[in-house]
Amino acid sequence: MNADLARKIGAFWSKNDSVPGTRWWDSPMVIRHVNVIVNGEPVDGLSMGLINRAKNLLGNRPPLEKGISVGCGIGVKEMQLIREGIVTSFDLFELSTERIARGRALAEKQGMEENVRFINGDAFSTVDGRKIYDLVHWNNSLHHMMDVHHAVAWSKEVLKSGGLFFMDDFVGAAHFQWPEEQLAMATEARRSLRGTKYLRNPAPKSFFSRKYLPCRLKRPNLKGMLRSDPSEAADSDRIIPAIMREFPSAEIIKTGGVIYHLALMDAIANFDETVAQDRRILRSLLDLDMSCIEQGETHYAVCLAIKN
């Protein structure tokens, strides 16, 4: 990655934070639903289904010694893997200096400053040795790589024999240029909520804001996406093919998202999961998402692979 592009991406993520409550990862019901798909248990916590599946895969092995994570943000997911006994330490690469500062403060607060090493830079140009790490961790960062085939091949190269490739990521349309089939499925789901509280616009009210979210979903403006963050889903639709090529025995599980990610974007904020009717409607929408997976349509997937 050239230096100018790295600076642009780092600056974007230093100032970017999504509005709380408006995305699927803010919903305990959706998180439990995904964890059931991955490991059969409705446990709380993002990626906990995959973490528990990794524990089962590793069996009685002691914690992996050293991991690497690219695009780690503030490192909260990696620190969780340390607490869960998956790995002992991490080299954490991140382009946002603001997020690194927050991550170091978090590590100190949690007593993990000796377990994590934050590095501001491009992991691919910094780490060029072979068989260095016991774990390569990607959690919603692989889809920000400009060339995912290169990123996955690099992951295999830096892993020791017997090392673990761990991924929980967006694998849908590049730059969110949704295919027609997914737009149709998501729009139909939105139309089922028309005129209800579930499609109220959660954005701060202003003279220009709409009272309700639109039923018909569209692709985001491509030029605008490239201008604001060229790394967003840059090469995401090639992630699964890249993994299958580099790790032929990998276990890949599609976890959906056409409904809970696309159809319920922003709308998820209107569901009160303490209310029985809201839970019932959300459950029916998650069942619809499962039918999308069965038709081969997904936005997310998880993967575990042991390097031979």
Q: What is the pLDDT of residues 230-278, one digit of tens each?
A: 999 999 999 999 999 999 999 999 999 999 999 999 999 999 999 999 9
Q: Phi/psi zone of residue 240: left (φ > 0), alpha (ψ -120 to 50 degrees), beta?
A: alpha
Q: Which residue has the tokens 């149709």?
A: 184
Q: What is the pLDDT of residues 160-177, one digit of tens each?
A: 999 999 999 999 999 999
CB–CB of 158/128 below 8 Å?
Answer: no
Segment holding 137, helix H or strand E: strand 133-139
Q: Cα–Cα distance between 105 and 91 in angstroms, integer?
A: 16
Tokens of 136: 């390569």
Structural domains of the chain, with CATH? 3-306 (3.40.50.150)
pLDDT on residue 13: 47
Predicted model pTM: 0.91
pLDDT on residue 203: 80
Give the residue ranges of the chain where pLDDT is below 50: 13, 207
